[in-house]
Copies of this chain bind each other. A is one copy, B any other.
């Protein structure tokens, strides 16, 4: 059987169905193998406490990776999320620290993130500038702005604000609940709504999408705004978890982590293919890898070498999957 067949034939028995899933998302195999290896070698990887830790760390990544993946599917990308995360956290933290109600504080942070998204989206979608250079420029500019506006670390945001990062909803940490919601919303949006189909169409063939009457500017523009907002939300969550935020370091390098999770999850950088379950796997892969290496007490530089190699190995497997548009 070739890869193309899998799209033509529908598996009937559960085993075949499972196989088809694995073929579509081969990262599942790598992830499972990795988890098993970590559990066997450390004995504590699968402890509930550790899993909870991984989930909380992965939550902020997932919240940003989902809209970022939609953006990549539609043929764009956003490298500015690392700085937007910092700005969002700073604005939310400052408002919370000034005694504003937490909801207002978070809303303020989100507005700042959305504003960055608006600038990115306008420049990339309406003026048609290179998303790579524009968002890289914004990465630098927004970081500078954040440091200019908030030169000193902020901390002490009050217990109301701490809810965002610390509360447990039915035993699950609030960030994880938010991330689950974002993942589900993203997956349903992509699979079930017309706009979800349009995102694929724009990513594959902008011209054809345009001629089919699809608004090829507004949809990616909206995705830029959503991505900016999501980054700010992640920033607010991080600020809440740490009860502090530093303009210079918060979210540094996050943009590459997000993009890596997205690409590992099988989203093509050229646009037009990918899936949200894939992105979830990419996020879990990165989260587990980091955690497992720390648990194993691997020396720093070996951690780096292993991480790099694992990235390559992960994408090697992901490559053998047929491209997905559902």
Contact check, B127 vs A308: say whether CB atoms are below 8 A apart: no
Among B141, B302, B309, the residue within 8 A (CB) of A308 is: B141
- In the complex with contacts A144-B303, A147-B301, A302-B148, A312-B138 CB distance below 8 A: yes
Residues of A in contact, count (CB < 8 Å): 46
Within the complex, what minimum Cβ distance (angstroms) separates A120 from chain B? 10
**Is there an interface contact between B144 and A308, defined as CB atoms closer than 8 Å?**
yes
Question: Hey, what's the 0/1 contact readout for A293-326 against B, CB within 8 Å counting as 1?
Answer: 0000000111111111111101110010000000
A144 touching B301, Cβ below 8 Å: yes
Q: Which of A134-169 contact B (CB under 8 A)?
A: 134, 136-145, 147-148, 151
In the complex formed, the residue of B with least CB distance to A301 is B148
Q: A140 contacts B269, CB within 8 Å?
A: no
Are A143 and B311 touching (Cβ within 8 A)? Answer: no
- Shortest Cβ distance from A116 into chain B, in angstroms? 11
Contact A319 B127 (CB under 8 A): yes
- Give, as a whole number of angstroms, the nearest-CB distance from A12 to chain B: 32
Asked whether any CB of chain B lies closer than 8 Å to the CB of A32, the reply is no
A129 touches which of B139, B147, B319 (Cβ 8 Å): B319
Name the residue of chain B whose CB is nearest to the CB of A147.
Answer: B301
- Given the complex of chains A and B, what is the CA–CA distance between A145 and B134 in angstroms? 32
Contacts of A316 in B (CB 8 A): 123, 127, 129
**A133 to B312, Cβ gap below 8 A?**
yes
20 A-B interface contacts by CB (under 8 A): A127-B316, A127-B319, A129-B315, A129-B319, A130-B269, A133-B260, A133-B263, A133-B264, A133-B312, A136-B256, A137-B315, A139-B308, A140-B305, A141-B307, A142-B308, A144-B306, A144-B308, A145-B305, A148-B301, A148-B305
